[in-house]
Chain A
Amino acid sequence: GESVGLHLPTLSVQEGDNSIINCAYSNSASDYFIWYKQESGKGPQFIIDIRSNMDKRQGQRVTVLLNKTVKHLSLQIAATQPGDSAVYFCAESKYQGGKLIFGQGTELSVKP
């Protein structure tokens, strides 16, 4: 598969529990942050994004938190479901529309 050779951090949760996926970003000048979900054999799928003038944004079952002081981004998934099993990538950009700089990804495994 695509993850061969790439040792991803993994997170294993029980179905129905909440998941928290963390990401440290590199550039303090980044203004835009985004989370993508990638299932095996597919491309990254947009989940949620946030600008640097915000510290929290909520979507359906997902929340993104941004801590600019420590350059940390997190994705919270409420009531995790088996369909949430995937690799999750955070990405940053100096501005929305600019090139994205991706993190290494975290593999989420949901146990039924």
Chain B
Amino acid sequence: EAGVTQFPSHSVIEKGQTVTLRCDPISGHDNLYWYRRVMGKEIKFLLHFVKESKQDESGMPNNRFLAERTGGTYSTLKVQPAELEDSGVYFCASSQDYGETQYFGPGTRLLVL
């Protein structure tokens, strides 16, 4: 069974540009989570989807971040416009049912110059 996949693996953009990260959860997993680790900090929660609905978006830092999960399958996280402090690693995780273990993808390493 394929694990959580994320695309791209790396992205280097300039401040002010837009970047869209994609996450494909494990097939059949209704729950999808986004986390990130910015330089010097811990991994922090961004938001949680149950199917296509946002269950908890309390970790989204500001309105420059937009997450979608149309159709309840893959999810995208768009940063527009990107700022220097957005640099870090963005992880996606999924779980089959609510209350089950979250399995992480390999992450997207974002560098904003």
Residues of B within 8 A of A83 (CB): none
CB distance from A72 to the nearest CB of B (A): 18
Report, as a range, how many residues of chain A touch the other chain. Answer: 20 to 34
Number of A-B residue pairs with CB-CB distance less than 8 Å in the complex they form: 64
Structural contact, A46 and B48, CB atoms closer than 8 A:
no
Asked if A100 is at the interface of the complex by the 8 Å CB criterion, the answer is: yes
Structural contact, B104 and A36, CB atoms closer than 8 A:
yes
Interface locus among A14-22, A37-45, A55-63, A74-82:
A37-45
* Contact with A5, one of B6, B40, B100 (Cβ below 8 angstroms): B40
CB distance from A40 to the nearest CB of B (A): 11
* Contact with B101, one of A49, A98, A105 (Cβ below 8 angstroms): A49
Structural contact, A101 and B45, CB atoms closer than 8 A:
yes
The secondary structure that dominates the A interface is loop
Report, as a range, how many residues of chain B touch the other chain. Answer: 20 to 34
Besides A42-B107, A101-B45, A102-B42, 20 new A-B residue pairs in contact (Cβ under 8 A), listed by A number: A2-B37, A2-B89, A4-B39, A5-B40, A6-B40, A34-B101, A43-B91, A43-B106, A44-B43, A44-B91, A45-B104, A46-B102, A96-B99, A96-B100, A97-B95, A97-B97, A97-B100, A98-B56, A99-B58, A100-B33
Q: B residues bordering A, Cβ < 8 Å?
A: 4, 6, 31, 33, 35, 37, 39-45, 48, 56, 58-59, 89, 91, 95, 97-107, 109
Q: A residues bordering B, Cβ < 8 Å?
A: 2, 4-6, 34, 36, 41-46, 49, 89, 91, 95-105
Closest 7 CB pairs of A and B: A43-B104, A97-B99, A99-B45, A102-B43, A97-B98, A5-B40, A5-B39
